[in-house]
Amino acid sequence: MHLLLVEDERKVASFIARSLRENLYTVDVAESGEKALDLVGRAVYDLILLDIRLPNLSGVEVCREIRDADIETPVLMLTARSLVEQRVEGLDAGADDYLTKPFALAELHARIRALIRRGFHRGGPKLRAADLELDRPRRTVKRGADPIQLTFKEFALLELLMVRSPDAVQRSEIIEHVWSHSFDTDTNIVEVYINRLRQKIDQEQQVKLIHTVRGTGYRLGLPGGER
Ligand code: CA
């Protein structure tokens, strides 16, 4: 696994890089957005850890340039505490997930594993199942010709189901990927969000795409199970 860490604060960068290397990742460090873009143009990374606050080019601008260059490497954005707009801006620019500073290294490693497991390299920028299409960099969804407006969590849930289609995804896995490891699993949050997705995607359609798999979780695809 080859990771790129973009962080201008030397101490923070070396601390994170050391921890990643201890976990057997190969790590390149870029101390500026310009350097990051240069490296991304020359090497293929499995994941990019991108600090949002950089001198000159911001993390958001770097992320946008990476996506404009059709590079689909997963981006984990490192953002400042409580700045919701910053996170939204990062996700809009094509980041896959964000982590708020300061964070525990265990949390960072968990997010990295989740992003890698999510298989963001597979499927390409556009995911399709039947007449449903999800555009990852643009974060748009449409069924047939009809655009569907989703919230970030709804989008993340649908994306996970589409990446794994036509296989089922376990409820516990949905919670881990879409919410977090520490999330209270006794709540019916997954059911609530599945219902919302059904209303937006399936309700007015003859062919339903979201299916409950008894005892397991959910599956997205045609009723027969084919893609
Ligand atoms: Ca910084």
88 CA → ligand 1 middle, Å: 18
Q: Could you report the average pLDDT of every consecutive run of 10 residues in the chain (227 residues)?
A: 90 94 85 96 87 94 93 88 76 88 91 76 76 87 95 87 87 74 68 95 94 93 73
Neighbours of ion ligand 1 (CB under 5 A): 8, 51, 53
Given 3.40.50.10860, 1.10.10.10, 3.30.200.20, 3.30.2310.20, which CATH number is that of 126-220? 1.10.10.10
Backbone phi, psi, residue 42, to 5°: -115, -25
Q: Ligand 1 centre from 157 Cα, in Å?
A: 30
Q: Which amino acid is at 56?
A: N
CA of 78 to the centre of ligand 1 (A): 9
Q: What is the pLDDT of residue 209?
A: 96
Å from CA of 178 to ligand 1 middle: 26
Fold match flag (2-118 vs 126-220): no
CA of 53 to the centre of ligand 1 (A): 4
Domain boundaries, the chain: 2-118, 126-220
CA of 27 to the centre of ligand 1 (A): 18
Q: Decide if 35 contacts 42 (C-beta within 8 A).
A: no
Q: What is the structure's pLDDT at 17?
A: 94
Cα(111) to ligand 1 centroid in Å equals: 19
Provide the pLDDT for residue 180: 53
Q: How far is the CA of 130 from the centre of ligand 1 (A)?
A: 43
Fold (topology level) of 2-118: Rossmann fold (3.40.50)
pLDDT at 160: 86
Task: Measure 141 CA to ligand 1 centroid, in angstroms.
Answer: 33
Please tell me the predicted confidence (pLDDT) of residue 88.
81
